[in-house]
């Protein structure tokens, strides 16, 4: 209890309460002040609970606190009788009742704030069934339930966003950066517009560029669709390959096996599957159901503290000791029939365990084989993607070997031809080198002759002129081709623009008509909207007035109820007092001595006489004690005088 009070005081001294209590001052609080502290804690969890308890009736306070504690799922300890004690303690401000409530509330304040916030929107109003027969009430109730479901989804999304890691500061920074980028882009667009306005036919060129952008977007969309279809085709091919592989394996198994072996295998599979369905899976399902029931029970219960865990541990230890005692008693009996049965039971349990272990091993082996088959199919698909072939088996492998042999003979012939070509290439390379040497010698001779004649460099300049003329002719051809391409492109664009104009002419006419209709409909919509707004405002004002009247009547009804209950309690108290007074008068007036003795007056007079006798006896005892004390004092004084006289004589 002291740890509980210390925890409460520490939390009340922190934010947002700031009570500045210590253990003594908190423990010395009056019931009214303790209830006000509890109300302050509840108002921190739910702001609607901000009330001064002195201005509220005790029954209203208890009712309000009990309703909020019920919403917060607080479970008082004990049974139904303890619940009535809990209500009475909450009304009178009893410490054994309020301390656990404060401890529970201060332990999980944030969680309870969230629960109280959600309760404001998720607790449904109880509408009587006779009111739901009205269509308007039923529609509004349906809309109310739909809004509750929408609130649930939005709250879940909000919690996910809170836990996703995106902070408000980062989002604000991103928004500010995006706004800056937007301003920069707007400025760039304005500069580009100013530049483009000086160009001739800029509107036409902008239209063409816009059409080009639309076509590019369409091209990207089509490319994306093509990629998706390719992926779908790839997955379909993979599924087909898996099915073909399964078919091949089944054919191989059917070709190699006999009917007896097939029947035996099928019988084994049927036995295994029947065992799994009838024995193993029901046990697992039952265990899972028990586990689920236990988890649901744990979830439905309130959060457990350290004291609850200690209690559970003590209960577990007690149960373990009881189990051990029962086992010892059973072992002390040592009945022979039970011993034989226990042996058979042990053997049966061992066999069932072995059976379950083998079934699990078989299941694991099947799962492992399935995973290996999946890996094999993945590897085959990867080999196909990289240009490889499938792993061959049986007759296919033999055919592949025969093809490989024929290809090896062809390879040898081709290799021989390549060797002949290499030899011929070596001869041609040698002749090329010889011809180059001869060409260099002739060039040297030609240069020497040109120097003798006085026209050195003539052959070099002639070669350069021929090379430049060839380059010029190639460039001219390229220019002509580019000009032709540009003219063809302009013609195509003009034809496309004219076709689009002719195609869009009827659409533009329809668009004009639709614009006129749209203007007329918008005018009608505005008129209807103004009528609706005025009607809605009138209905809203009437509804608010009716709500205020209903609220006032409810408050009056609650006040009258509280007064009624208070007067009933006072009447009952007065009746009890009146009954006691009448009984006292009857006992006092009656001639029977026993009834007179039962009267309270007689009992009080008897008690007074006894107390007076006790006082007289006590007074006599005190007088005797005082006489003895005075005699002792005189005795000690005489002895002291004698002692002092003796000391003087010795001196």
pLDDT tens readout for residues 224-282: 999 999 888 988 888 888 888 778 777 766 665 567 777 777 788 788 788 778 877 88
% residues pLDDT > 90 (the chain): 2
Strand ranges for 64-103 from DSSP E? none
CB 115 within 8 A of CB 72: yes
| pLDDT for 81 | 53
Q: Name the more confident of 424 and 477.
A: 424
CB 90 within 8 A of CB 98: yes
CA 8 from centre of chain: 31
CA 512 – CA 509 distance, rounded (Å): 5
| pLDDT for 503 | 80
- Could you tell me the CA-to-CA distances from 559 to 92, 116, 562, 565, 620 in Å, in that order? 20, 26, 5, 10, 63
CB 4 within 8 A of CB 103: yes
- Number of C-beta neighbours around residue 86 at 10 A: 21
Which residues, 6 or more positions from 107, have their beta carbon under 8 angstroms from its beta carbon?
7, 305
| Mean of per-residue pLDDT scores for the chain | 79
Which of the four pLDDT bands, split at 50, 70 and 90, describes residue 395? low
User: Residue range 338-356: average pLDDT?
Assistant: 70
| pLDDT for 80 | 47
| pLDDT for 222 | 92
CA 414 – CA 408 distance, rounded (Å): 10
Residue 101's Cβ-count burial label (10 Å; 0-12, 13-18, 19+) is buried
| pLDDT for 1 | 61
Cis peptide before 16 (omega within 30 of 0): yes
- DSSP structural state of residue 124: P
pLDDT tens readout for residues 371-387: 887 787 777 777 766 65
CA 643 – CA 650 distance, rounded (Å): 11
pLDDT tens readout for residues 180-213: 888 888 888 888 778 777 777 777 887 888 888 8
CB 282 within 8 A of CB 290: no
Intra-chain end-to-end CA distance of the chain, in Å: 72
- DSSP structural state of residue 108: T
Of 59, 96, 105, 93, nearest in space to 77 by CA: 96
Q: Name the more confident of 240 and 598.
A: 240
CB 359 within 8 A of CB 272: yes
User: Residue range 93-119: average pLDDT?
Assistant: 83
- Global pTM value: 0.31
pLDDT tens readout for residues 140-176: 888 888 888 888 888 888 877 776 655 667 778 888 8
CA 68 – CA 46 distance, rounded (Å): 9
pLDDT tens readout for residues 426-441: 888 888 888 888 888 8
pLDDT at 360 over 70: yes
Phi-psi region of 421 (alpha: psi -120 to 50; beta: other; left: phi over 0): alpha
Tell me the DSSP string of 481-509.
Answer: HHHHHHHHHHHHHHHHHHHHHHHHHHHHH
């Amino acid at each position: 209890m002291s740890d509980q009070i210390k925890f409460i005081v520490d939390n009340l001294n922190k934010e947002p309460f700031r009570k500045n209590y210590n253990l003594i001052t908190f423990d010395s609080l009056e019931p009214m002040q303790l209830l006000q502290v509890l109300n302050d804690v509840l108002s921190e969890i739910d702001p609607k609970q901000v009330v001064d308890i002195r201005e509220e009736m005790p029954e209203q306070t208890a009712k309000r606190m009990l309703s909020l504690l019920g919403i917060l799922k607080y479970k008082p300890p004990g049974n139904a009788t303890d619940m009535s004690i809990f209500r009475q303690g909450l009304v009178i401000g009893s410490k054994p009742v309020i301390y656990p409530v404060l401890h529970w509330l201060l332990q999980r304040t944030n969680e309870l704030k969230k629960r109280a916030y959600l309760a404001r929107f998720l607790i449904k109003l109880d509408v009587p069934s006779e009111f739901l027969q009205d269509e308007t009430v039923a529609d509004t109730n349906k809309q109310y339930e739909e809004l509750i479901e929408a609130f649930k989804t939005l709250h879940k999304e909000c919690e996910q966003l809170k836990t996703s890691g995106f902070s408000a500061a980062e989002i604000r920074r991103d928004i500010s950066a995006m706004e800056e980028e937007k301003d920069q882009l707007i400025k760039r667009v304005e500069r580009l517009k100013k530049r483009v306005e000086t160009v001739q036919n800029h509107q036409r060129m902008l239209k063409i560029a816009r059409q080009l952008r639309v076509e590019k977007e369409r091209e990207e969309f089509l490319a994306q669709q093509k990629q998706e279809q390719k992926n779908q085709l790839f997955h379909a091919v993979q599924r087909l390959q898996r099915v073909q592989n399964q078919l091949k394996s089944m054919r191989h198994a059917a070709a190699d096996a006999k009917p007896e072996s097939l029947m035996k295998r099928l019988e084994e599979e049927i036995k295994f599957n029947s065992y799994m369905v009838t024995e193993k899976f029901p046990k697992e399902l039952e265990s899972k159901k028990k586990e689920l029931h236990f988890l649901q029970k744990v979830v439905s219960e309130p959060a457990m503290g350290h004291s609850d865990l200690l209690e559970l541990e003590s209960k577990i230890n007690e149960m373990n000791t009881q189990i051990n005692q029962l086992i010892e008693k059973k072992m002390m009996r040592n009945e022979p029939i039970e011993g034989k049965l226990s042996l058979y039971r042990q053997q049966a349990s061992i066999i069932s365990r072995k059976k379950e272990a083998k079934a699990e091993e078989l299941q694991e082996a099947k799962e492992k084989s399935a995973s290996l088959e999946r890996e094999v199919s993945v590897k085959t698909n990867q080999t196909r993607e990289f240009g490889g072939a499938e792993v061959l088996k049986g007759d296919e492998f033999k055919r592949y070997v025969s093809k490989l042999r024929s290809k090896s003979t062809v390879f040898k012939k081709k290799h021989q031809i390549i060797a002949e070509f290499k030899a011929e290439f070596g001869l041609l390379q040698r002749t090329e080198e010889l011809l180059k040497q001869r060409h260099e010698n002739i060039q040297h001779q030609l240069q020497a002759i040109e120097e003798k004649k006085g026209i050195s460099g003539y052959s070099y300049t002639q070669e350069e002129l021929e090379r430049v003329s060839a380059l010029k002719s190639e460039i001219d051809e390229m220019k002509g081709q580019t000009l032709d391409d540009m003219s063809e492109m302009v013609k195509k664009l003009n034809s496309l623009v004219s076709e689009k104009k002719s195609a869009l002419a009827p659409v533009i006419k329809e668009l004009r008509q639709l614009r006129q209709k749209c203007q007329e409909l918008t005018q009608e919509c505005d008129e209807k909207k103004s009528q609706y707004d005025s009607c809605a405002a009138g209905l809203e004002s009437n509804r608010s007035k009716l709500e205020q009247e209903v609220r006032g009547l409810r408050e009056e009804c609650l006040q009258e109820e509280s007064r009624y209950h208070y007067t009933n309690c006072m009447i009952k108290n007065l009746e009890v007092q009146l009954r006691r007074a009448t009984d006292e008068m009857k006992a006092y007036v009656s001639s029977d001595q026993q009834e007179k003795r039962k009267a309270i007056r007689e009992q009080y007079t008897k008690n007074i006489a006894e107390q007076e006798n006790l006082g007289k006896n006590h007074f006599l005892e005190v007088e005797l004690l005082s006489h003895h004390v005075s005699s002792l004092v005189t005795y000690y004084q005489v002895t002291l005088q004698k002692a002092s006289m003796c000391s003087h004589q010795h001196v």
